Structure 1
Amino acid sequence: MEHVNSPDAPDIPDHAMRAAVETFVIFGRLRRKLQALPGDSGLTPAQTSVLVRMGKVDATSVGELAAAEQVTHQAMVKTVAALEAAGLIARHPDPADRRRQTLTLTPAGRDRAQGERQARQQWLARALAEHGTPEEIEAVTIAMRLLGEVADA
């Protein structure tokens, strides 16, 4: 994969650009793979993704979820309605704006989100162990630290 810097970014070293492109492509593929993993929860991949995302925040809105999941507001309304019907999320009036509703996980939703996250982490750990040497897996850990620093910068 040869890359030539664009005129507006001539100071980026080629090795950094290659790493960025490869990271972007692989993270996209890995994210899709993890979202598509079958679970025993009976939830769709979209519902599972929303449930796991909500497990990372105290409260959110349909609009915030739609933006984060990169889907339309209407699609998110349907996903949220299914999760609410399953007793996994609850709606509450927003204390700052009574016209708006916030969404939170119920205790059952929190348990399910944790179980889904653990199942995906276990799948990834098994896949790393099957495909990588201990040295390669350590290199992944080191790379993740660097990407974490980049994400926090």
Structure 2
Amino acid sequence: MSDTRELSPSAVRAAHEVRVVVGRLRRRLRESHQAGELTLTQTSLLSRLEREGPRTASDLAAAEGIRPQSVAASTAVLEERGLVTRRADPDDGRRQLLVISPPGRELIDSTRAAREEWLARALQERLTDEERGTVVAAMALLDRVTDR
């Protein structure tokens, strides 16, 4: 449902700035530490399994908005590298669940830690204490935007 009221110039500018900076920040975070040379799809699938627990390949495809064939190819690589395992679905033994393995969880944890360390160093080197406080306050505001 679209609101017919006009957007204020400040809202349009803020939206543009947030979109541009968040996009740039995502790219820099990705560049700061590659998750064991996994593709973005493989990393996303592994992260989803870590966050949400065991899933079927079709559940992953729907959640990620990608073709089941892409999930199958990506999870085959993850399984080959020992980052995920398969087990029978306790509710339906004909289905297989993909489960993140301990090495997969370690990879996700180390990747997150490396990215957060890069960001903390960048914030420390480029911003003052007061500016970092402003960043924290801005994040609280953006968090309000994302609340539903």
| TM-superposed deviation, 1:45 | 4.0
**TM-score (norm: length of structure 2):** 0.78
Q: 1:81 to 1:37 in 2, by over 3 A?
A: farther
Which residue does 2:121 correspond to in 1?
Answer: 126
Alignment partner of 1:146 is 2:141: yes
Residue 24 of structure 1: aligned partner: 19
Match for residue 106 of structure 2 among 99, 102, 111: 111
Equivalent in 24, 29, 37 of residue 34 of structure 1: 29
Specify whether residues 133 and 113 from structure 1 end up closer, same or farther in structure 2 by C-alpha distance, changes over 3 A only.
Answer: same
Contact 1:60 1:102 in 2 (8 A): yes
Aligned residues: 146
Q: Which of the pair has the greater relative contact order for Cα pairs under 8 Å at 6+ separation?
A: 2
Alignment gaps of 5+ in structure 1: 1-6
User: Where in structure 2 are the equivalents of 1:4-153 lying within 5 Å?
Assistant: 9-39=4-34, 42-46=36-40, 47-66=42-61, 69=64, 71-153=66-148
Question: How many percent of aligned residue pairs carry the same amino acid?
Answer: 42
Q: CA deviation at 1:121?
A: 0.8
Cα distance per residue 1:22-71 (max 9 Å; x no partner):
212222222233223344x6332423343334322222343444455555
* Alignment CA distance shift 1:8-1:101 (3 Å): same
Please list every run of 5 or more consecutive structure 2 residues that lacks an aligned counterpart in the other structure: none
TM-score by length of 1: 0.76
Please tell me whether the aligned partners of residues 52 and 114 of structure 1 are also in contact (alpha carbons under 8 angstroms). Answer: no
SS, match of residue 10 in structure 1: coil
